[in-house]
Structure 1
Amino acid sequence: MADSTSIEWTDSTWNPVTGCTKVSPGCDNCYAETFAERWRGTAGHHFENGFDITLRPDRLRLPMTWRTPRRVFLDSMSDLFHTDIPDHYIAQAFAVMALTPQHTYQVLTKRHGRMKTLLSRPTFWHLVAKQGREHFTGCQQDWLAVGAMLGGEPLPNVWLGVSVEDQKWADIRIPALLGTPAAVRFLSCEPLLGPVDLKRAVITRGSERGHGLTASFVHAAGCCENGLHGIDWVITGGESGPRARPMHPQWARHLRDQCEWAGVPFFLKQWGAFAPEDHGHDHGRVALIDTQGRSWTEREAPAPQDTVRMRRVGKTRAGRILDGQHHDAVPAPAR
């Protein structure tokens, strides 16, 4: 759990917690829940408890066994800031990240409020040091590594991100992310369920303040160098699975164009189960969707001009090409 992964934007996953609960429409068809619930009640299986929140302390030291530097997605099968996960256990996970600076950690959450509150408290970072000394004996000589964070600086190897599936959640979660101390901040717009205008939620080039940005904004290294002030990376992708909802191509284009204008790395992870028909797909169930996310049928007329025909061809066949090219940009690791 797991030395390697098929997730395109990371190298490995690390799950010191498994299980979660749903909080917004992006959770409706959660792949992790679908996988875990298959094994509920299977005695001795790792997911015997299905998708219930389960702490996995035996997994905490896993990154310490990896010598080669890598990008690590933390809790791909959970949410580290879930309310049922104790503060001291979150602190243990951060202690491990502090003690393994060779890795770059990608921490993604939908619990933006708890993340901001917890990581903004000096007492939390003292708890990190306390938990580290108590649980990771033999590493005391490395605790100079946490000196900066105890002084108010974020860990340079920890990237913090929030999930953003539509404009409503962009307006809620992005300002909270901007108010959280972080070396690198990123957005995962997956599954993308509607158009997202990032300029509503962040400071943009040529303006003093963006929608929702408050005095709690926390500057991070390099954050003033791009047009989407404070956002360092944007990932997007459509939904896969049996109940997948299609992603309108214009939503992905609009995010890409905003990132290109701002000089922010953009990563298109996947189209998901549905791909645009004009990508050469002539088989698979047809779905008609307009730029507002409304579905249409071929018998309904007239559909809006911005309606596109999508084909359900499966994640593999759908691929991840937008306007003839892959988009694989990733921020450089912080030093």
Structure 2
Amino acid sequence: MRVITVTDSNDLVLDTVPDPEPAEGEVLVRVAAAGVNRADLLQRAGHYPPPPGASDVIGLEVSGTVVALGAAVTGWQIGQEVCALLTGGGYAELVAVPAGQLLPVPAGLDLIDAAALPEAVCTAWANLVGTGGLRTGETVLIQGGSGGVGSIAVQLAVAVGARVLTTAGGAERAARCRELGADVAIDHRSDDVVAAVEEATKGRGVDVILDVLGAGGLEDNVRMLATGGRLVVIGTQKGRKGELDLGRLLTRRASVHAATLRARPLEEKAAIVADVLERAWPMLDDGRLRAVVHDRLPLAEAARAHELMDSGEVFGKLLLVP
């Protein structure tokens, strides 16, 4: 099969390797499309290696068709259209996936566009509703609402019944976040985000912050938390190490959480996927949630996709099509 591999000089090249075989408990999927994530750029640069035993091929989510079942797999059929959360291996024509990380493609959803969903929905749902405990009537700030995870998080938070604030780079991107349902979209390139949040919440702050900035946003994020607020960090785009004002956390009885999805044990990922299937996946059927796709590119143009992702101008997801 054809795959994208990373050379010693960190170039992405189209290569050919033997087809994978599904192990016990795995399903072999012929890839229709692979989602491109910022984590892919980190892996390519050597900063986000795959967990032990995982494929070293880049790619954390795909859509496609089941072509073979490993031993002890039940509930899936050859020919079924699926999308999948991966630990790696997505930039390829075939990928073996633990059966617990598969999701059915809802009726009416384009198979290729479905590749934009697994990583983003599982990440947003697990951290907004799971770790963050977001509830109906609360206020949430989603840092980076125009990104692959952020554009899904905005929609999920709206569907939960929260008041949604988000940030985006540029007035046009902020406007598109409002089209996704955000009540307030702040252009972080021209506006003071802390002041805008204070104005929007009348000084109360927000109950939950979903953050991709990391250290560079830590001080401001803590300042924007309401009493009992929860900051959930899922990215480090602006650094890994920062100072934390414990006094402010104490007085507001607030908390800081951090989580990644990729390195979790198979059982934890399967539990997240099952929860998403039960509670978030129906939102695709009734229109509360949709895939947000910036563009589709051929698999051979993976390097171009990474350039676009690194430019900061992508809204939603880029997809690679074998």
| Higher normalized strand content (fraction of residues) | 2
Q: TM-score, normalised by structure 1?
A: 0.27
Q: TM-score, normalised by structure 2?
A: 0.28
| Structure with the greater alpha carbon radius of gyration | 1
Higher RCO (CA-CA < 8 Å; seq separation 6+): 2
